[in-house]
Amino acid sequence: MKTLNQVFNTIKKSSPILYWVVIIHFIFAIICLIGLAIDDRILLGINVWIKPLKFSISGGIYILTLGFLTTLYPFSKRKKNIITIIVSITLLIEIVIIIYQAARGVQSHYNISNPFDGILFAAMGILIAINVVIMVLFIFETIRLKLDTSKTVQWAILLGWIIVVIGSWIGGQMISQMAHNVGVADGGAGLPLVNWSTTAGDLRVAHFFGLHAIQVIPLFAFWVSKKWNTNTRNQLIAVTVFGLLYAGWIGHTFYQAKQGIALIQL
């Protein structure tokens, strides 16, 4: 808890706008929980507030992570502000669209049923594309610069960014087929909360793990560097093996989904 408070304080000092966008995401998550309790409307087999709840939490965690990682790069203050403001504003608009569509009881993604919904869906695609460009920028900057952290953690951050871009590409695969399920129409039986299909392939599984590589792999590296009293070479090997296994898991879940096989078949 102390470490988490330090992260929030660091981000608040570095980028107040990004800090408040994170807070807004978590406030939205609370609003979605209230919606779950008082609104029983169903869309694609689940309550209309489940999806914005997931995106509020996931988006808040991603923005929080990016905000903290940005403080490790030797960027100028102007460059840091440009990056954090772009990410904050674009993803804030994204989550507002998702919540707005949920409140209307309609799909936010893959919804081109009328011009208005089509425009909102296209806008979401543009906003995410902007963020993918920033992810690619971070890959190059992580290779080019010396970060204010250990070599082990910097290597983990690089692996994390690379896999996040792959996870975003998987999101593009869903857009290309205008659905996340493979083998059946979207909706139907799914796992609790995440709603990953239990009857057919679901590309959201690989997408989810891909997008959260930027938290999982650096946290593993941080744990290794603190708990394993060995040289940097061994720590780098451990992080590399972990990163490859993590990427392999994403590859497996992607392949499994493309074959129309559920992660957990019920």
Give the model confidence (pLDDT) of 110-121 as tens digits. 999 999 999 999
10 shares its domain with 56: yes
235 shares its domain with 181: yes
List the domain range (segments joined by +) for residue 71: 1-148
Mean pLDDT of the chain: 95
25 shares its domain with 135: yes
185 shares its domain with 237: yes
Say how far apart CA 99 and CA 34 lie, in whole Å: 13
Contact 86, 73 (CB under 8 A): no
Rounded to two decimals, the pTM is 0.94
76 shares its domain with 159: no
- Coil, strand or helix: which one is 206? helix
169 shares its domain with 201: yes
The predicted pLDDT at position 6 comes to 86
Question: Could you give the number of structural domains in the chain?
Answer: 2
Out of 148, 173, 206, a domain closes at 148
Say how far apart CA 123 and CA 94 lie, in whole Å: 8
* pLDDT mean over 128-147: 97
Out of 92, 126, 148, a domain closes at 148
The predicted pLDDT at position 2 comes to 54
What does the pLDDT look like over 4-24, one tens digit per residue? 888 889 999 999 999 999 999
33 shares its domain with 91: yes
The predicted pLDDT at position 1 comes to 56
Out of 122, 148, 174, a domain closes at 148
- E strands, 10-79, in order: 42-43, 46-47
142 shares its domain with 187: no
53 shares its domain with 159: no
Other CB atoms within 10 A of residue 223 CB? 10
130 shares its domain with 181: no
Using the 8-state DSSP alphabet, how is residue 190 labeled? B
